[in-house]
Amino acid sequence: MIAGAGSGKTTSLIKGLASILAIHGERLRLRRQRVACITYTDTAAREIWTDVGHNPLIHVSTIHSFLWSIARGFKKDIANWVAVRIQERIDELQQAAAGFGPRVQQRTRDKNARDIVRYQKQNAAIATVRSFTYGTGSDYAKGILGHDDIIKVSSRLMIHSPLFRTLVAQQFPFVFVDESQDTFPIIVEALIAVQRQEQARFCLGFFGDPMQRIFTTGIGTIPQQDDWKAIPKPENFRSPAAVLNLANAIRRDGDELVQVGGRKQKNGEQEVSVVGTARLFVLPTDDHRDERVAQVRAWIARANGDELWLPAANGDPVKMLVIAHRMAAKRLGFGDLYAALNDKAPEAFKSGFLDATAWPLRPLVSFLLPIAEATRDNRDFDAIQLLRTHSQLLAKDNLKGVDVAKLLNQLREASNQLAELMGPQSQATIRDVLVLATQYKLLAFDPRLAAYLEDIGADAVAEDWPTDGKQEGEEGPSIEINAMAAFLACPANQLRPYQAYVNEESPFSTQHGVKGAEFDRVLVVLDDDEGTHPQFSYEKYLGLKELSNRDKKNLEEGSETSVERTRRLFYVCCTRARQDLAVALFVSDPTSAAAHIRGLGLFPEADILVL
Ligand SMILES: Nc1ncnc2c1ncn2[C@@H]1O[C@H](COP(=O)(O)OP(=O)(O)OP(=O)(O)O)[C@@H](O)[C@H]1O
């Protein structure tokens, strides 16, 4: 099913699941089979799981848990794959070392040498691993595979092993994939391989919209196979008329899809179309951005006669969508964390910062902070659950011959200390938190993170690692090392406000984080100055800034540029609004920008305002 935003793809997916249960439920139960529904995020999985009434015949999960639930049984194949993977890493590191130029710092060379030794040790230990688990980071010597590994090893199995393909279809004769445009191409290839082999025994459904692909790792359009059926859904059920017109206009430059309809509302017995508003405010890039946004809100409140648009301290009814907002980060209290992982940081850190998936952040946000909070709030059950999920200490195999009471006491002590270190008043750094977790062996860190904790003395980091412009132009490893130094020195109490931001608990959401969601009032902030993402540029998208040489080269080669990527992100943002949409564009010269944008035919002329 390929259809635009608000066309009811997720709604249809849920209805489809209900029909499968009604028609095939009994048979599935008898054969101990389940229906798989794959979502892009854990949050989406929880929502769909609720919508299907927590029916145990339906397995709603992210792609990682889905793949692991099948692949985990293939221990021998996994062990072989891991051995090859470790050797690959060693080869890569040795190649990198051979290519080090004279400008590479000694520390980078030392780290490379130590990493090689570490992988060689893992290589030796791998033969003794009895079973593999799926964890926050990968630690092969302990049998722990990370997120990337799961994707690689299971897609490989699916593509190369007929037995594995049969097993997938036997366990899950129906597989639905939501947000299919952002699915890894290798996973699509693997699922198609299952379908080709199993034919009518396996029903595969993709639900997506290529215009809403916002991650570079996503496939975009699913290659349609000859015997597949395409289900069009031309109607839009979410957007008011003003927003639907804008959505169609944005899309016009990207593909052919046009939506009709729009949200309707009951007026007595009659259904009437919701008109809504969609306005563009063009504002100057100065030091008063927050005041300008407040001014826009006050303007709309007056024009629409809707007080809910006025700035609110708590429970803000307006959703503000920002790409990665330095000012919001500062105001919400995680300015240093933002700077550490965005300023002169590796690309992977910047993009992983948007949804807390960057490897330095993962264990902190998904495990250590939740456990600190559960402890502080006396939620013992939650704390134990977290330990069960993330820590090897409570794994069945590790409990044999262990004094459990003593272990639980130690864990309680560790959790108490964590709660203190990560509390709002704490002076501790992220390094302090990670060191504590290491001392208590709370979790097996991703080897990349473990390397920093072992290798680098805290003082050395603070004193003599340049974070000014000196390292510019140097090869990758130095950039990562410096970003990690800044990250480990960040105050640990910045993690909680950062997590609230990523989890949509603040009035701000990241533009990447809102796909699939809808809100009555949406304010999209377009500000290239504040973003640190060269892959997106609203000024280039709107024709206010020249394309870079790299963009031009991409164009020549037929690859996509930041213009297409930004158009898709803009489409996703604008189509979240159920009632009123405001777009605040910050540029150096608002008057001439507004004049230019009037010629683009995106917004009606009267709805482009310079305040
Ligand atoms: N047939 C329908 N009749 C009326 N309302 C509908 C219908 N289908 C969906 N809706 C409503 O329209 C809105 C959008 O639906 P849904 O979220 O399923 O769309 P979507 O295509 O998945 O959107 P997106 O691509 O933006 O994620 C929801 O509020 C949903 O309740």
CA of 205 to the centre of ligand 1 (A): 18
Q: What is the C-alpha separation between 376 and 142, in angstroms, rounded?
A: 31
176-198 pLDDT, tens per residue?
999 999 999 999 999 999 999 99
Q: How far apart are CA 109 and CA 364, in angstroms?
A: 28
- Assess whether pLDDT exceeds 80 at residue 458: no
Backbone angles phi, psi at 491, to 5 degrees: -65, 135
Residue closest via CA to ligand 1's atom 9 equals 8
Q: What are phi and psi of 530, to 5 degrees?
A: -90, -15
Instruction: Supply the residue whose CA is at minimum distance from atom 16 of ligand 1.
Output: 8
pLDDT (0 to 100) of residue 444: 84
Rounded Cα distance between 47 and 53, Å, is: 10
- Could you tell me if the ipTM is greater than 0.95? yes
Residue 7 assigned as binding residue = yes
Confidence of residue 459 (pLDDT cuts 50, 70, 90): very low
Closest C-alpha among 374, 371, 348, 372 to residue 361:
348
Residue 499: is its pLDDT beyond 70? yes
Q: Is pLDDT above 70 for 324?
A: no
**Which of 13, 237, 273, 576, when mutated, tests ligand 1's pocket best, judged by the most ligand atoms within 8 Å of its CB?**
237
- Average pLDDT taken over every residue of the chain: 89
Cβ within 8 Å of residue 28, ≥6 positions away: 21, 34, 35, 57, 173
For residue 465, pLDDT beyond 60 = no
> Per-residue confidence at 311, pLDDT binned at 50, 70, 90?
confident
Pairing of strands 277-284, 318-322: unpaired
Closest approach atom of ligand 1 to CA 7: 21
Q: Which two tokens stand for residue 516?
A: 């699939």
In angstroms, what CA-CA distances link 498 with 19, 364, 394, 492, 573?
40, 11, 29, 11, 21
Of all residues in the chain, the percent with pLDDT exceeding 70 is 94
3-state secondary structure of 533: coil
448/462 Cα distance (integer angstroms): 20
Give the residues surrounding ligand 1 with Cβ less than 6 Å away: 3, 5-11, 209, 212, 237-238, 516, 518, 575
Among protein residues, the one with the nearest Cα to ligand 1's atom 18 is: 8
Given ligand 1 and candidates 2, 9, 11, 514, which is best to mutate, with the most ligand atoms within 8 Å of its CB?
Answer: 11
Strand ranges across the sheet with 318-322 = 508-510, 318-322, 519-526, 577-587, 277-284, 608-610
Mutation to probe ligand 1, out of 179, 238, 572 (largest number of atoms < 8 A from CB): 238
Reply yes or no on whether the pLDDT at 226 is more than 90.
no
What's the 167 CA to ligand 1 centre distance in angstroms? 34
What distance in Å separates the CA atoms of residue 359 and residue 484, rounded to the nearest whole number? 11
How remote is the CA of residue 18 from the centroid of ligand 1, in Å?
16
Q: What confidence category does residue 474 fall into, taking pLDDT thresholds of 50, 70 and 90?
A: very low
28 CA distance to ligand 1 centroid (A)? 28
Whats the size of the chain, residue-wise? Answer: 611
Report the candidate in 192, 186, 184 with the shortest Cα–Cα distance to residue 215. Answer: 184
C-alpha 354 – ligand 1 centre gap (Å): 25
- What average pLDDT does this structure show over 201-207? 96
How would residue 476 be classed by pLDDT, with cut points 50, 70 and 90? low
Q: Would the annotation count 389 as a binding residue?
A: no
Q: Which ligand 1 atom minimizes the distance to the CA of 4?
A: 25
Pairwise CA distance, residues 295 & 283, whole Å? 10
The Å distance, Cα 243 to ligand 1 centre, comes to: 15
